[in-house]
Amino acid sequence: MNKLDEICATKREEVRVRKGLNTLSDLERLAAQASAPRGFRDALEAKAADGFGLVAEIKKASPSKGLIREDFRPHQHAMDYAAGGAACLSVLTDAPYFQGHEDYLLEARASCALPVLRKDFMVDPWQVAESRALGADAILIIVAALDDALMTEIEAAALDHGMDVLVEVHDETEMERAATRLTSRLIGVNNRDLKTFTTDLATTERLAALAPEGSLLVGESGINTHADCLRLEQSGVRCFLVGESLMRQADVEAATRTLLNG
């Protein structure tokens, strides 16, 4: 079993238990009371029109690297990312593999005006209502993790809630499935191979040209420097999702500014 399959199997079990604690109708009621979604795609597009659009990730740990940041403070990181010029935030909420938590999303979103992606492994439409109830403005669909029917259902639930969907692909087949089965045109190309954990920016370079018409592309993972952003810009990619390289810096605000502006 590869790591993604393992994470998704764990997530399905977690969701089964959580569903017993919160019914869909409870969550729908909370989602209806949540503050209106902040436009995630719009915010990225606006920044990318005049520079680079950054989705800055609040990431404590990962399966590939273990603990990334000891003094983990979502409230402070959110403010630093916003002050440094990020367009949006991504907050990992998965606990078993990323040491994430739903509270980190609540904390980060309350600390700034940026739209927030709930970065988790969506395996059930129930999680979409849960995400909106938490205040998330966007969710992630990992094409490799879902069959066509389920990813379509999860996308429809997110769109019904007024949320944006970041559709993540890693190869040509997944790009084709995203183009033909989904309507969201916010496409993230993950440079990380989830079987080996190696990252290669050439993945974004290779797949960028295959994105469906009207897509806003986001290069994800393994982006460390302004030079990396300039490299991907050559392939028409002006938006980036960056976690580890920013989270490892003492001065997150300055590092964000340097990543974006050189």
Ligand X SMILES: O=C(O)c1ccccc1NCC(=O)[C@H](O)[C@H](O)COP(=O)(O)O
The contact set with ligand X (CB under 6 A) reads 3, 57, 59, 62-64, 190, 192, 194, 197, 220-223, 241-245
Q: How far is the CB of 168 from ligand X (least distance, A)?
A: 7
Q: How far is the CB of 22 from ligand X (least distance, A)?
A: 25
Q: How far is the CB of 88 from ligand X (least distance, A)?
A: 13
How many angstroms separate the CA atoms of 57 and 259, rounded? 13
Q: How far is the CB of 255 from ligand X (least distance, A)?
A: 12
Q: Which residues pair with 139 in a beta bridge?
A: 118, 165
Q: How far is the CB of 68 from ligand X (least distance, A)?
A: 8
Checking phi first, is residue 141 left (phi over 0); if not, alpha (psi -120 to 50) or beta?
Answer: beta
Q: Which residues pair with 242 in a beta bridge?
A: 56
**Residue in the shown chain whose Cβ atom is closest to ligand X:** 243
Nearest residue (CB) to ligand X, 100 versus 135? 100
Nearest residue (CB) to ligand X, 31 versus 203? 203
Q: How far is the CB of 245 from ligand X (least distance, A)?
A: 6
Extract the runs of DSSP E, i.e. beta strands, from 41-172.
53-58, 61-62, 66-67, 88-92, 116-119, 138-142, 164-169
Nearest residue (CB) to ligand X, 64 versus 249? 64
Q: Is residue 223 within 8 Å of residue 242, measured between CB atoms? A: yes
Nearest residue (CB) to ligand X, 91 versus 112? 91
Nearest residue (CB) to ligand X, 27 versus 164? 164
Residues of 98-135 as b/e, b for ≥16 C-beta within 10 angstroms? bbbbbebbbbbbebbebbbbbbbbbbbbbbbbbbbbbb
Residue type, 260: L
Nearest residue (CB) to ligand X, 135 versus 243? 243
